Amino acid sequence: TPLLYSCSSENEKMVSFLIENGADLNKGNKYGNTPLMMACIRRNAKILEILIGKGANVNKENKHGNTPLSFA
């Protein structure tokens, strides 16, 4: 999704823009990895703050049973 890509590429402005325009914070890729997981993998504190502040599910599991904390 555009939000997943923006988190992966660490584009904070685009992350904020997409969220403000209705992007699904918890929609995962084919492996179930969510934008929050991508931000954890990239260790981007600002994007983590944005996503958590807007209500991203911190307990959502991917297809392997990992949560964002698994990647932190």
What is the model's pLDDT at position 72?
Answer: 82
DSSP state string for 18-65: HHHTT--TT---TT---HHHHHHHHT-HHHHHHHHHTT--TT---TTS
CATH of 2-71, one of 1.10.10.60, 1.25.40.20, 1.20.1250.20, 1.10.600.10: 1.25.40.20
Q: Provide the pLDDT for residue 63.
A: 97
pLDDT score of 60 more than 90: yes
**pTM as predicted:** 0.93
Instruction: Give tens-digit pLDDT for 17-57.
Output: 999 999 999 999 999 999 999 999 999 999 999 999 999 99
Q: What pLDDT does 16 receive? A: 98
Per-domain residue ranges of the chain: 2-71
